[in-house]
Structure 1
Amino acid sequence: MSYKNEWFLLEADDNIDEIEHREPTEEFLFYRAVATGDIETVRKNCEAGRFVEGEGVGVLSRDPVVNLKYHFVITTAMITRLCRQNGMELEQAFRMSDFYIRKLDDIHTEAEVHSLHDEMVMDFTEKMRKYARNDTNSKHINACKEYIYSHIKERITIEDLADELGVSSGYLSRLFKKETGISVSAYIRSQKIDMAKNLLRFSDYSMIDIANRLSFSSQSHFIQQFREVVGMTPKKYRDEYYMVQWDIESGTPRTEGDTAGMPMPDEMSDKK
């Protein structure tokens, strides 16, 4: 009997163990957190032990260690491609991927796989964080971006940044515009809108939830700011891009019926 026929019989078996796979929202947000260098989010995920939780994920092997290794490989592949898409050098991304996957050969317990997973995702995240804050800017501007990134969910003012850096707000404002080409407020807004786009695509948060989460003064203010930056309302953006199947390599959505490219996390029953 072919494997395909075996699957057809298994699929129709009323006694098959029913596993309701969790929504891919969490996987996407986690992968994005790694690819954008969001160390705080990634660290919290690791500390919560989300990678080894069994509820809502597929069983890829009856051997628990092998099962975890399979999920590790899937996670590494997805993170590698997203980091590459976000600017990591091709050779570096795939060499890191190969290095960590090869390390599985010497691992024989679930705890060891879990530990390797956490080390791998933190390594990728830290490198992406450094990439996003390269040394082309002065020390003050890099520190400014670092503060904004770490406090993106809060209301941030130029005065907050100036106090944090120990300089005057006028000096920081002029320096930031000179080195980045945009104002501090424009940069903060762009970072908040980028996070909002991910929440609209990969979560079920309402507009008011997203507005509050990112400390916009009101839902209407969030909608106005989003439309100015993106060119459409948050609702239209969600309607067009919510859970769309993305081609990880190119960063573009795949049209219906297009099966080219790597399968998405819900198709692979991935863990984080």
Structure 2
Amino acid sequence: MNFHKDWEENEIMLSENEVTHRQQNDEYMFYQSVSNGDVDAVQDNIDHHRFLDSSGTGTLSRDPLQNLKYHFVVSVALITRICTEKGMEMERAFRLSDFYIQKLDDINSIPELSNLHSQMVMDYTVRMKNLRHNANLSKTTNECLNYIYANVNDRITIDDLADHLNTSTSHISRLFKEELGISPSDYIRNVKLDKAKNLLRFSDYSIIEISNYLTFSSQSHFSKLFFEDTGMTPKKYRETYYGTTWK
């Protein structure tokens, strides 16, 4: 196969048809809206079906659905990296990317793909909105947050963090207090409770299964901490929010 010949013929065809790509500023502003947690701007993009607007976008496949799937992969890859730069834990960002790319295997129509893209960009946007100021954190603190997220179903202690980063527990405690205004143990507890909320909303695992998965010492201890955080029991929280999506 002569790629050079194919390339030159492709160049001639695009030039004759005056095909040009849209300005990068448009895409850059959209990705900035996602990484800044600007829900309104991203929702406006969704409402105007910008993902389906092919003007100024490259043709990556002659098949319309496959072409959009390729653009979806490009989009989620760029969003993943810019959100990581803006403070999302690297492991969380890449797990989200893998999750949504795998979902492409089940997509058989353009409307389905458009809905998946809307869900993906809003998922990242809401998560970024809920972040505090991780982009300004030290490397050590960010690595701690990444470790906590990746091991949320384990019993994590400040000693584990210190061992993982080959530093002292006092150093980690000081950084958390200075940069997050919270102790490492309280931060770990909050991450586990946030995970519990998602499991109660979007899974059918029982409360005891969720408690055990997140390594709380007992179901009663889990329920006590959950009530202190939300003002609801886990059972009431599930009854109220089960199946609700991002808003």
TM-score by length of structure 2 reads 0.52
| CA distance in 1 between partners of 2:125 and 2:61 (Å) | 28
| CA distance in 2 between partners of 1:83 and 1:3 (Å) | 35
Q: Does 1:100 align with 2:90?
A: no
Task: List alignment gaps of at least 5 residues for structure 2.
Answer: 135-178, 181-247
Contact 1:33 1:41 in 2 (8 A): yes
Q: CA RMSD in A?
A: 2.3
| CA distance in 1 between partners of 2:14 and 2:98 (Å) | 40
Report the CA distance shift for 1:86/1:5 in structure 2 as closer, same or farther (over 3 A). same
Deviation at 1:58, TM superposition (A): 1.3
Deviation at 1:5, TM superposition (A): 2.6
Contact 1:34 1:128 in 2 (8 A): yes
Q: Does 1:40 align with 2:60?
A: no
| CA distance in 1 between partners of 2:62 and 2:71 (Å) | 13
Contact 2:80 2:93 in 1 (8 A): yes
Q: Look up the match of 1:57.
A: 57
Q: Does 1:67 align with 2:67?
A: yes
Q: Look up the match of 1:6.
A: 6
Deviation at 1:2, TM superposition (A): 2.0
Report the CA distance shift for 1:61/1:17 in structure 2 as closer, same or farther (over 3 A). farther
| CA distance in 1 between partners of 2:9 and 2:73 (Å) | 28
| CA distance in 1 between partners of 2:30 and 2:14 (Å) | 34
SS at match of 2:131: helix
Q: Look up the match of 1:208.
A: none
Report the CA distance shift for 1:121/1:15 in structure 2 as closer, same or farther (over 3 A). closer
Deviation at 1:103, TM superposition (A): 0.1
Deviation at 1:20, TM superposition (A): 2.1
| CA distance in 2 between partners of 1:20 and 1:13 (Å) | 12
The amino acid that maps onto 1:39 is V
| CA distance in 1 between partners of 2:21 and 2:15 (Å) | 18
| CA distance in 1 between partners of 2:16 and 2:101 (Å) | 32
Report the CA distance shift for 1:83/1:11 in structure 2 as closer, same or farther (over 3 A). same
Deviation at 1:26, TM superposition (A): 0.8
| CA distance in 2 between partners of 1:79 and 1:37 (Å) | 12
The amino acid that maps onto 1:97 is S
Alignment of 1:20-35 (within 5 A): 20-35=20-35
Report the CA distance shift for 1:40/1:8 in structure 2 as closer, same or farther (over 3 A). same
Report the CA distance shift for 1:112/1:13 in structure 2 as closer, same or farther (over 3 A). closer
For 1:19-68, what per-residue CA distance to the aligned partner results, in whole angstroms no more than 9, with x for missing partners? 22211111000001101101110011001100001211111111000000
TM-score by length of structure 1 reads 0.47
Q: Look up the match of 1:83.
A: 83
SS at match of 1:27: helix
Report the CA distance shift for 1:15/1:94 in structure 2 as closer, same or farther (over 3 A). closer
SS at match of 1:132: coil
For 1:62-91, what per-residue CA distance to the aligned partner results, in whole angstroms no more than 9, with x for missing partners? 100000000000000000000000010011
Contact 1:20 1:56 in 2 (8 A): yes
Alignment of 1:152-231 (within 5 A): none
Q: How many residues align?
A: 137
SS at match of 2:60: coil
Report the CA distance shift for 1:63/1:130 in structure 2 as closer, same or farther (over 3 A). same
Contact 2:87 2:133 in 1 (8 A): no
Q: Look up the match of 2:125.
A: 125
| CA distance in 2 between partners of 1:68 and 1:100 (Å) | 14
Higher relative contact order (CA 8 A, sep 6+): 1
Contact 2:37 2:128 in 1 (8 A): yes
Contact 1:10 1:16 in 2 (8 A): no
| CA distance in 2 between partners of 1:15 and 1:88 (Å) | 41
Q: Look up the match of 2:153.
A: none
Task: List alignment gaps of at least 5 residues for structure 1.
Answer: 135-178, 181-272
Q: Comparing both structures, which one devotes a greater share of its residues to helix?
A: 2
Deviation at 1:105, TM superposition (A): 0.2
Percent same amino acid at aligned positions?
A: 46
